[in-house]
DNA sequence: CGAACTGTTGCATTGACTGCACTATTTTAT
DNA sequence: ATAAAATAGTGCAGTCAATGCAACAGTTCG
């Protein structure tokens, strides 16, 4: 592609924190403890995300311009880029931040489980943290299935997280090829996550369940085919 | 604005492979069966690729403009885009095309091996097919290690191939979750490929060997960590 | 209430990428 | 060998994503 990316990253645990994984569901109503400013910010952000998904669902990715999205969301294009690193990010709802948090939870999991399972738990949590807005989810499903480009990007955006996780895992794995093995574990972990994503998209199953099913199939001995 | 006619094509001396996954080494001399036109085309393409890699190695990805690359390669920017889909593609040397071919070889391998091993063979072959131009390889190594963005992209470019392979594998796998299992096999296959890529980049080991090592580690039971 | 913040915006600019029309050269058919 | 069909290279005009900067307005906090 083109333009300037720098990969914003994505998800993590859950609500509350200012540094937010994906677009959070904020209702016009609630949110009294967040301050007017923060509330408004989230509203506009959500508005943009919505607009982006809707428009892309209508016209496809390329034909939709940032200006169109901004207009529908009722903001200026400049504001648009104050919230989203790229046009893609807005469609996917990816807010930059989080790799650090994810790495932290991996570290925590490592106290309890081995590398592979620790990573699996973390990734599952991340998936579970992705909001399942009934409206948007269906739209997104359509969009993603028709716009393979977004898959690319979404996986691309994960790269920052990946390297962070590799670091953590490398520490935890001792022996000769610690780093190399860490890389493999992470790569395979993300491969399964991506599979779950696709599975979820095509079946409509929710992400965590899809993930579980994928793990199940994988462990069942896909090895031996 | 940007036209230096020095025909600055420094083609290097290497055997040429007709079905080219990446930029092929074409020699000024031998190529009698390719026709003048095709020969020149490849020369300019190679020149651009070279220029791109060199410049990015010097300045990093973002600061290098297409115009700079084109100028150094002695072509117009318009010509640049006649050859490469994007700036990234030029740096990576990715010529669009052959997902069909790869799919075909997978089909062939499936006559002999099971899904997993068939895919492994195919992927290994693809890796082996990537030209190991001594000069460029080192540069590319540098570039890739300093420019994580390119990893993203390179894996992104593979997405077309991926879905093609999934199709083929799905046919070959029968049973309930054929498609899903195919997806997983492919995703994991590519995960290992990416690992090999990283391995090769950091150690300098050639790609096929790196790939073998990765497979070895993986099969050795990374599962049980 | 006043000062420090911070989100929104307009403006100007860069740079990736495309469509179109044209030239020059190679290829092919006659 | 020559005319006709192809096609790589090029210039030009234009679209659109993305960024820096400066000004403004509503929010928060002392």
Q: Which nucleotide is nearest to A63 (CA to C1')?
A: D16
Q: How many angstroms separate the CA atoms of A149 and B85, rounded?
A: 14
Local confidence band at B159 (pLDDT 50, 70, 90 cut-offs): low
**A199 interaction partners in chain B (CB closer than 8 Å):** 180, 183
Local confidence band at B63 (pLDDT 50, 70, 90 cut-offs): very high
**B158 against A5, higher pLDDT:** B158
What is residue A20's predicted lDDT score, i.e. its pLDDT? 41
**B190 interaction partners in chain A (CB closer than 8 Å):** 191
Cβ burial, residue B206 (10 Å; 0-12/13-18/19+)? middle
Residue spans in chain B of domains classed CATH 1.10.10.60:
1-96
Q: What is the CA A80 to C1' C1 distance in angstroms? A: 34
Rounded mean pLDDT of B145-160? Answer: 62
Q: What is the CA A5 to C1' D21 distance in angstroms? A: 21
pLDDT surpassing 80 at residue B189: yes
In strand C, the nucleotides that come within 7 Å of a protein beta carbon are: 6-11, 15-20, 25-28
pLDDT surpassing 50 at residue A46: yes
- Summarize pLDDT for A70-119 with one digit per residue, the tens: 999 999 999 999 999 889 888 877 766 566 778 888 999 999 999 999 99
pLDDT surpassing 80 at residue A36: no
Residue spans in chain A of domains classed CATH 1.10.357:
99-224
Per-residue three-class SS string for chain B = CCCCCCCCCCCCCCCCCCCCCECCCCCCCCCCCCHHHHHHHHHHHHHHHHHHHHHHHHHCCCCCCHHHHHHHHCCCHHHHHHHCCCHHHHHHCECCCCHHHHHHHHHHHHCCCCHHHHHHHHHHHHHHHCCCCHHHHHHHHHHHHHCHHHHHHHHHHCHHHHHHHHHHHHHHCCCCCHHHHHHHHHHHHHHHHHHHHHHHHHHCCCHHHHHHHHHHHHHCCHHHC
Query: CATH: 3.40.50.2000, 3.90.79.10, 1.10.630.10, 1.10.10.60. Which one for B1-96?
Result: 1.10.10.60
**A208 against B175, higher pLDDT:** A208
The domain made up of A32-92 is a member of CATH 1.10.10.60: yes
- Whether A2 sits inside 8 A of B86 (CB atoms) is yes
Mean pLDDT over the full length of chain B: 76
Q: What is the CA B37 to C1' D8 distance in angstroms? A: 8
Tokens of A172: 């935890």
Q: How many angstroms separate the CA atoms of A218 and A197, rounded?
A: 15
Interface test with A, best of B191, B196, B221 (most A CBs within 10 A): B191
What is residue A72's predicted lDDT score, i.e. its pLDDT? 97
- Summarize pLDDT for B81-115 with one digit per residue, the tens: 999 988 988 887 776 666 777 888 899 999 999 99
Local confidence band at B167 (pLDDT 50, 70, 90 cut-offs): confident
Rounded mean pLDDT of A166-194? Answer: 87
Query: Above pLDDT 90, what percent of chain A?
Result: 31
Query: Above pLDDT 70, what percent of chain B?
Result: 67
| 8-state DSSP, A221 | T
**B131 against A43, higher pLDDT:** A43
Interface of A with B (CB under 8 A): 1-2, 4-7, 114-116, 148, 151-153, 155-156, 159-160, 163, 173, 177, 180-181, 183-185, 187-188, 190-192, 194-195, 198-199, 213-214, 217-218, 222-225
**A214 interaction partners in chain B (CB closer than 8 Å):** 180, 184
**B167 against B141, higher pLDDT:** B167
Q: Which nucleotide is nearest to A2 (CA to C1')?
A: C16
Q: Taking CA B160 as the corner, what is the angle to CA B156 and CA B163, rounded to the nearest 5 degrees?
A: 115
What is residue B158's predicted lDDT score, i.e. its pLDDT? 62
What is residue B214's predicted lDDT score, i.e. its pLDDT? 93
- Whether B180 sits inside 8 A of A192 (CB atoms) is no
Which fold is adopted by the domain B99-224? Tetracycline Repressor; domain 2 (1.10.357)
Q: Which residues contact A147 (CB under 8 A, 6 or more apart)?
A: A56, A60, A61
Low-confidence winner among A122-126, A138-142, A205-209 (lowest mean pLDDT): A138-142
């Amino acid at each position: 592609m083109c333009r300037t990316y720098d990969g914003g990253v994505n998800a993590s645990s859950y609500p509350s924190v200012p540094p937010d994984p994906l677009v959070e569901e904020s209702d016009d109503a609630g949110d009294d403890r967040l301050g007017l400013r923060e509330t408004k910010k989230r509203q506009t952000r959500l508005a943009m995300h919505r607009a982006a998904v809707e428009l892309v669902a209508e016209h496809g990715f390329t034909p939709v311009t940032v200006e169109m999205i901004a207009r529908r969301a009722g903001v200026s294009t400049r504001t648009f880029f104050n919230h989203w690193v790229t046009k893609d990010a807005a469609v996917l709802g990816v807010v930059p931040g989080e790799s650090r948090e994810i790495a932290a939870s991996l570290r925590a999991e490592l106290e309890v489980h081995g590398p592979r399972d620790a990573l699996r738990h973390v990734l599952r949590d991340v998936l579970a943290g992705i909001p399942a807005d009934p409206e948007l989810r269906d739209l997104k499903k359509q969009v993603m299935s028709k716009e393979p480009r977004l898959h690319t990007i979404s996986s691309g955006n994960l790269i920052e997280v990946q390297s962070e996780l590799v670091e953590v895992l490398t520490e935890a794995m001792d022996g000769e090829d610690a780093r190399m093995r860490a890389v493999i574990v992470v790569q395979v972990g993300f491969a399964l996550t991506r599979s779950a994503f696709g599975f979820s998209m095509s079946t409509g199953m929710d992400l965590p369940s899809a993930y579980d099913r994928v793990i199940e199939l994988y462990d069942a001995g896909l090895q031996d085919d």
